Amino acid sequence: MIIIVTGMPGSGKSKIVKEFERRGFPSVSMGDVVREETAKRGLELTKENVAKVSIRLRQELGQNAVAKLTVEKVKSLLKKSTLVVIDGVRSLDEVGTFRSAFPDEEIVIIAVHTPPRLRFERLKARGRHDDPQTWEDFEERDWKELKFGIGNVIAMADHMIVNDGTKDEYDKRVKELVDRVLTQH
């Protein structure tokens, strides 16, 4: 089984990925795949270099370049685990790449939704170097994700979890969701 975790920046995707990891299932971050490629090409891991490699990869391997590189990692992980989590899918086209590459695996999309105002507050508080500090930066970053088609992946999710309450509430919802996914599928 392949679990695709999706959601807008700052929505709380990583907690879902971590909960699967805590239960012994490996994950692949599509962002890490691009960062690895950047390092492989001898470039420093700056935001600009990663963006550049991301564009070059698409020129070399087509629109779904990152998904194609991710397929290789998922293939090797599926030799050791019955379930692999993919973090960072941004379009239904990428989902299609995984469906074609793994016709015999069940593919389950999990989306997490957090209202924009809350995501903005959380990203501002997180303050990772690429996190937005102004509402304009936030909207620009959101728009970048939306242009890829992440909204379509969210709209077509098999499971939707809402992260609009306290941290404890979200922790509980994530655990319940992972239980449900593991028993239902």
Summarize as ranges the residues that interact with a second copy (CB under 8 A).
Answer: 8, 92, 111, 113, 115-117, 142, 146, 149-162, 164
Find out whether 81 and 26 touch, Cβ atoms under 8 Å: yes
Annotated binding residue at 8?
Answer: yes
Give the nearer residue to a second copy in terms of CB position, either 26 or 149: 149
Least gap, CB of 49 to a second copy (angstroms): 28
Alpha-carbon distance 21 to 113, whole Å? Answer: 21
Q: Where are the beta strands (DSSP E) in the chain?
A: 2-7, 27-29, 84-87, 107-113, 159-162
Give the nearer residue to a second copy in terms of CB position, either 9 or 50: 9
Least gap, CB of 129 to a second copy (angstroms): 24
Least gap, CB of 117 to a second copy (angstroms): 7
Give the nearer residue to a second copy in terms of CB position, either 56 or 113: 113
Find out whether 157 and 109 touch, Cβ atoms under 8 Å: yes
Give the nearer residue to a second copy in terms of CB position, either 131 or 145: 145
Alpha-carbon distance 53 to 57, whole Å? Answer: 6
Find out whether 122 and 131 touch, Cβ atoms under 8 Å: no
- How far CA 14 is from CA of 19, 20, 57, 59, 168, in Å, comes to 9, 10, 25, 29, 15
Annotated binding residue at 103?
Answer: no
* 163 closest CA partner among 105, 122, 104: 122
Least gap, CB of 101 to a second copy (angstroms): 20
Alpha-carbon distance 179 to 55, whole Å? Answer: 38
Give the nearer residue to a second copy in terms of CB position, either 10 or 37: 10
Annotated binding residue at 12?
Answer: yes
Least gap, CB of 113 to a second copy (angstroms): 4
Annotated binding residue at 13?
Answer: yes
Annotated binding residue at 11?
Answer: yes
Annotated binding residue at 62?
Answer: no
Say how many residues make up the chain.
185
Annotation: binding site:
7-14
Annotation: binding site for ATP:
7-14
